[in-house]
Structure 1
Amino acid sequence: MKKPILSILILLILPFTFGFKQDFTEPVQLQWETHFKGKAVENSPFFALTAMTWKYSYESTIYRNRVAINLKNEVTIDKNRSWVKWDKIKNPDVRASLLHHEQGHVNIQYILLSEAERVLKNRNYSVKNYKAQISQLANEISNYFDTMQRNYDDETEHGSNHKMQARWDKIIDDKMEESRAATLANNSK
């Protein structure tokens, strides 16, 4: 009798542990021991890397010359490709600061997830070429957020410029708040 209950508990916990799904409310909170299991790239100038993947898929329905899509949209953190150079972050303050910076990358992906949800669902697509339109929009969203991730690293100097890190923290927090508000507005329609 205990095995089915344990299985149900594991199934309930797993979706929250490994990625953000379509019904997300907050980004995953990174933890060194949980999310950074990969082998560090020793010749990399960086102390840590958070590997993430955005995936989307959809089912489409055409009704009266309109295309409706049922979007599946998720971001996963690949803990086996995410790594940290433990020997470089022995100081607790440096460790906390670096984890905070890496969390910024996750938060940017959370914003991507929200934006993709909003943009891809709320478009009028042509029946003749909706697949190409969706693909183009998804590529534009992905490119925009890839650029944002690079700018975040460049401007904060990978988290070592604390003044710029604070500026980016504010930008990311504001964008996350906008995303939450847009999600609530969309869900109330």
Structure 2
Amino acid sequence: MKNLLIAFLSLLIIPLVSFKQDFTEPVQLDWNIHFKGKPDNNSPFYALTAMTWKYSYGSTVYRNRVEIKLQNEISIDKSRSWVKLDKVKTEESRQNLLHHEQGHVNIQYVLLMEADRVLKNRNYSVKNYKAQISQLANEISNYFDTMQKNYDEETEHGSNHKMQARWDKIISDKMEESKAAAELK
């Protein structure tokens, strides 16, 4: 799986805090717990939440049908997540920034839920199921990569409060859709 850091700043390789498939809510960020990395002084941004998505599966073929047992998780890398709290002067600004970073985590949570739903609920060909799963995973990854980039661009990294509110609604709706779909399984 390609390193998603290239596509957007929210994803990195080393997982430290994982969401498990049975979680009903995303992890709630805390400056003191999740942001232990050294800030990038060359970055124009005030915070970075480093995350990754990993999946793996076992497969069995039964009567010309492939069944997979999916392991699916997202992680926050505390050692690579950072914040420049000295640059954020007011408590309100700090809370707004944390709220924006939480949006990235919530988007990743939606990725987790959707990946679980999509990858588990497909009929795969016995001959090329590995390629099919890989292609689906790449499509999911690309979709959420684009969503993360759009979130940052449209909210101006959280500084456009009107667009932040719009994205809050989008993310909340997507979380509810994903939960509803998971309950139907």
| TM-score by shorter chain over 0.5 | yes
Structure with the bigger percentage of helix = 1
CA drift of 1:90 comes to 2.9
Runs of 4+ in structure 1 deviating by more than 3 angstroms, as ranges, are: none
Match for residue 134 of structure 2?
Answer: 135
> Matches of 2:139 and 2:92 in 1, distance apart?
37
> Matches of 1:19 and 1:26 in 2, distance apart?
12
> Matches of 2:119 and 2:147 in 1, distance apart?
19
Aligned pairs, number: 170
Alignment of 1:86-125 (within 5 A): 86-125=85-124
Match for residue 178 of structure 1?
Answer: 177
Residue type matched to 1:180 in 2? K
RMSD between aligned alpha carbons? 0.9
Q: Secondary structure at the match of 2:108?
A: helix
CA drift of 1:123 comes to 0.4
Match for residue 82 of structure 2?
Answer: 83
CA drift of 1:36 comes to 0.2
Q: Secondary structure at the match of 1:128?
A: coil
CA drift of 1:19 comes to 1.5
CA drift of 1:77 comes to 0.2
> Matches of 2:82 and 2:24 in 1, distance apart?
26
User: Deviation string for 1:49-105 (max 9, x for gaps)?
Assistant: 000010000000100000000000000000000000121113100000000000000
Structure 2: give runs of 5+ residues left out of the alignment. 1-15
Match for residue 25 of structure 1?
Answer: 24
> Matches of 1:103 and 1:88 in 2, distance apart?
19
CA drift of 1:22 comes to 1.5
Match for residue 9 of structure 1?
Answer: none
> Matches of 1:78 and 1:89 in 2, distance apart?
22
> Matches of 2:17 and 2:76 in 1, distance apart?
6
> Matches of 1:19 and 1:164 in 2, distance apart?
29
Match for residue 54 of structure 1?
Answer: 53
Return the TM-score normalized by structure 1.
0.89
Q: Secondary structure at the match of 2:57?
A: strand
> Matches of 2:95 and 2:154 in 1, distance apart?
19
Match for residue 159 of structure 2?
Answer: 160
Structure 1: give runs of 5+ residues left out of the alignment. 1-16
Match for residue 63 of structure 1?
Answer: 62
> Matches of 1:71 and 1:185 in 2, distance apart?
18
> Matches of 1:161 and 1:108 in 2, distance apart?
18
> Matches of 1:141 and 1:171 in 2, distance apart?
17
Q: Answer with 1 or 2: which has the greater Rg.
A: 1
Identity of aligned residues (%): 78
Q: Secondary structure at the match of 1:81?
A: coil
Residue type matched to 1:42 in 2? N
